Amino acid sequence: MSDETLVVGLVSISDRASGGVYQDQGIPALEEWLRSALTTPLRFETRLIPDERPQIESTLVDLVDNVHCHLVLTTGGTGPARRDVTPEATLAIATKEMPGFGEQMRQVSLAFVPTAILSRQVAVIRETAGHAALVINLPGQPKAIKETLEGLKDADGKQIVGGVFAAVPYCIDLIGGPYAETNDAVCKAFRPKSAIRKKDNA
């Protein structure tokens, strides 16, 4: 793999899906959206696990420390129910908390449902010797995943509320990851002018 390959960990957290009661929809939804949004070479590492805090923590640590993912996205387990422990597990493995992501995710979701205030999604940085990754908790439903990442657009395609993914590529830059580029029609990454790389003229 090239040094410019973005390694993305996708973790679906669900007792029933991991137990085979129904088919997981979170990971396929994430893969589909990321392939449409990113023009950078990608490699996915996927995990389907139950709502067990020790297993969530060990999975996140493994994806960052051993697999060397640059970005880890979780789906599921972020509500107020007793079994929803994804935020606690995510904070437990964190070096830094990134509260702006959770704030913006709830802001986007509130445009659709008032129950968005029940979401406890968090985002963090985990740093180890020579490597760091951004870890973001996302909703469990495919529709909500897309809305949260992409944001809201009007009928003409103009952005009304920004999705959280617009800030992800620059965050990955700042923690030493590969330079990720996006398909602007899906999600336009924001970087300060000084951080934008000029494309080679072919």
Summarised one tens digit per residue, pLDDT across range 45-55 is 999 999 999 99
pLDDT (0 to 100) of residue 149 = 96
Most confident of 8-22, 84-98, 136-150, 159-173: 84-98
202: in domain: no
Query: pTM of the predicted model, to two decimals?
Result: 0.94
201: in domain: no
**1 pLDDT more than 70:** no
pLDDT (0 to 100) of residue 154 = 80
Number of domains present in the structure of the chain: 1
- Look at the alpha carbons of 189, 178, 32, 142 in this order and tell me if their dihedral is positive or negative: negative
1: in domain: no
Q: Are 10 and 46 in contact (CB under 8 A)?
A: yes
pLDDT averaged over every residue in the chain: 93
**2 pLDDT more than 60:** no
Mean pLDDT, rounded, for 99-118: 93
Question: By percentage, how much of the chain surpasses pLDDT 70?
Answer: 97
**200 pLDDT more than 90:** no
**Top-confidence residue, 57 or 155:** 57
**202 pLDDT more than 80:** no
**Top-confidence residue, 78 or 3:** 78
Name the band, by pLDDT with cuts 50, 70 and 90, for residue 3: low
CATH number at residue 51: 3.40.980.10
**104 pLDDT more than 90:** yes
pLDDT (0 to 100) of residue 150 = 93
Determine the structural domain holding residue 60 and report its residue range: 6-195
